[in-house]
Amino acid sequence: MSSIHPDRINAERLAGLATAPPVPTPGWDASLEDNPAVRPPLVLNNRTFTEVTDIICGYTENKPGKWWFPVFGFTATVAGCGTLLILYLLITGVGVWGLNNQVDWAWDITNFVFWIGIGHAGTLISAILCIFKQKWRTAINRSAEAMTIFAVICAGTFPGIHVGRIWMIWMVFPIPNSNSIWPNFRSPLLWDVFAVSTYFTVSLLFWYMGLIPDLATLRDRAHQRLLRSEQGPRVPVLGLRIDRIRANVYGFLALGWRFSSRHWHRYENAYLLLAGISTPLVLSVHSIVSFDFATSIIPGWHTTIFPPYFVAGAIFGGFAMVLLLLIPARELYPHMKDFVTLRHIENMAKIILATGMMVSFAYAMEFFIAWYSGSEYEQFAFKNRILGPYWWAWGTMTFCNVVSPQIFWFQWARRSPLTVFIISIFVTIGMWFERFVIIVISIHRSYLPSEWGMFHPTPVDVGIFIGTCGIFLTLFLLFLRFLPVFAMAELKAVLPHADPHGSHGIGA
């Protein structure tokens, strides 16, 4: 860490004085350079194009670490049990959940909003940071977009199964039917169907478009190995060479991409425009999710602050999940720390702090408006949050979302992966409780005393939620194993030697 004040360095630069280059200390992450006269590297250790390709393709081409199979086996088992519980629910009915006459939305919709919110960080990284030309995003966008898609898969499960009769779910889509009826286009629940399915499809298209060149790289490397030698690993019984399968499968998906500059020109244009349309999309999706609540007349739901508050909360929780996935990954995979640097972790911690403050402001504003509205039902709803039987849920939420991220005001905390990891766990728990607080506490005590009740989750409630965590992690582990974990082409383009006019602007 430079002990010189940055302003002094700027002043010296303007005065024409040269500053001595910083002396590297062992264990020092060069991306943390805070001397404004030095542009910190985005990829550490001066990696060449060859090294970047070899390292990243190595994650899928070489055998995974010893940890991979046991962890995958565990998460796949959890995912399988969760799927069996979903089957049990579909066969038996939603009565296997703890829902009752008063609390008719509980864990199902909590989990839906929780997962869809997590997805938002991925789109923020791939779209909004792209528009703001934040080059550091290139190291994390691929995995964050993958996380988005897997989180939306988990999210989409819940509205699908909470209707109970899954075979009737097609009625949410405007499909001609023998009853000659159409969906109600004034219902926010229908808007939600369109918003979430559009979000999933666009995220998938965006992700796939980014993958095309990198899949072509994996194809070409497999092809090279096939041309070079007759020997290579084979599929046990069939005797087919694994590189042959790679060349064909990656080759099919790469659509014959041949790295032509004329193609790159249109590709970059399409990428930028996709980022441009994904930006309002991501903001709209969680706004529309919040309309599910905000357009009702239930005290605690009926607030205009919901759309921005939900979007900020989604980004807050989503970045925590990105960190929960990437911090272990960078420890487990060789050389991954060269790409996911401490600067990345620090930047994401800053975003968590900023969005955490927005969420805290929204919490405070809800209480203020409840008081200011003069509505006794509104006031009761918020008193009931703190003093009612669910005080512990509100307390957990407040501690995790308001108090715990405050440690990120300190630089050492933002730069310590372990601290960031622990706070991310808190934030993830807190964001789940936020949705639980909003949904269950608002409806468990309605206008009439006869409408008061409590929600008690059943083992099926808990099991299906844990099952979706298993599905999410299983899909992510498969992604780490079989697809390029980093956007190689984009990462190479931000290396200093990718500049066609020499590496100006790099170094003192």
- 26 or 500: CB nearest another protein: 500
Residue 308: CB minimum distance to another protein, A: 16
CB of 232 to another protein, least distance (A): 16
Q: List the one residue from 168, 227, 237, 297 that touches another protein (CB under 8 A).
A: 227
Instruction: State the Cα–Cα distance between residues 106 and 356, nearest whole angstrom.
Output: 24
Question: Do the beta carbons of residue 314 and residue 286 sit within 8 Å?
Answer: yes
Angle at 477 between CA 476 and CA 479, to 5 degrees: 65
Which of 459, 436, 427 is closest to 113 using CA atoms?
436
- Spatial CA neighbour of 129 closest among 339, 348, 416, 406: 348
Question: Between 205 and 386, whose beta carbon lies closer to another protein?
Answer: 205
Between residues 201 and 411, which has the closer beta carbon with respect to another protein?
201
What type of residue sits at position 378?
E
Question: Which CB, 5 or 501, lies closer to another protein?
Answer: 501
Applying CB under 8 A, the span of 95-103, 216-224, 324-332, 368-376 interacting with another protein comes to 216-224
List, in sequence order, the alpha helices (H) in 374-444. Answer: 376-387, 391-398, 411-414, 417-436, 442-444
Q: How many residues does the chain have?
A: 508
DSSP state of 494: T
| From 80-88, 161-169, 267-275, 478-486, span contacting another protein (CB under 8 A) | 267-275
What's the gap between Cα 496 and its chain centre? 29
Q: Cβ 257 to another protein, closest distance in Å?
A: 7
Taking the least distance from each CB to another protein, the nearer of 82 and 159 is: 159
Cβ nearer to another protein, comparing 227 with 418: 227
Residues 129-188 that bind another protein (CB under 8 A): 174, 180-186, 188
Binding-site member from 67, 173, 252, 372 for another protein (CB under 8 A):
252
Considering only 125, 144, 202, 342, the residue that binds another protein (CB under 8 A) is: 202
The 3-state DSSP class for residue 241 equals: strand
Smaller CB separation from another protein, 224 or 411: 224
Candidate list 72, 74, 105, 208; residue touching another protein; CB under 8 A: 208
Contact indicator for 148, 121 with CB cutoff of 8 Å: yes
Angle between helices 68-92 and 141-162 (to 10 degrees): 20
Nearer to another protein, 104 or 268 (CB): 268
Burial 420-459 (b: 16+ CB within 10 A, else e): bbebbebbbbbbbbbbbbbbbbbbbbbeeeeeeeebebee
> Which residue spans within 6-73 are E strands per DSSP?
none
Please work out the total of residues on this chain that contact another protein, with binding judged by CB under 8 A. Answer: 71
| Binding to another protein, residues 280-319 (CB under 8 A) | 280-281, 284, 288, 291
241: β partners: 234
Closer residue to another protein in complex, CB, 211/427: 211
Report 477-506 residues binding another protein (CB under 8 A).
488-490, 492-493, 497-502
49 interacts with another protein by CB under 8 A: yes
Task: Decide if 465 contacts 158 (C-beta within 8 A).
Answer: no
Among 41, 42, 44, 53, binds another protein (CB under 8 A): 53
Q: Which residue has the tokens 């229908």?
A: 190
Smallest separation (angstroms) from another protein to the CB of 493 = 4
- Contact region for another protein (CB under 8 A) — 42-50, 72-80, 148-156, 443-451? 42-50
Interaction of residue 386 with another protein, rule CB under 8 A: no
Q: Which amino acid is at 429?
A: I
Closer residue to another protein in complex, CB, 218/315: 218
Shortest reach from residue 260's CB to another protein, in Å: 5
Rounded distance between C-alpha atoms, residue 229 and residue 223, angstroms: 10
Using CB under 8 A, which of 205, 240, 364, 403 touches another protein?
Answer: 205
Query: Which residues, 6 or more positions from 296, have their beta carbon under 8 angstroms from its beta carbon?
Result: 302
- Among the residue ranges 48-56, 353-361, 368-376, 471-479, the one whose residues contact another protein (CB under 8 A): 48-56
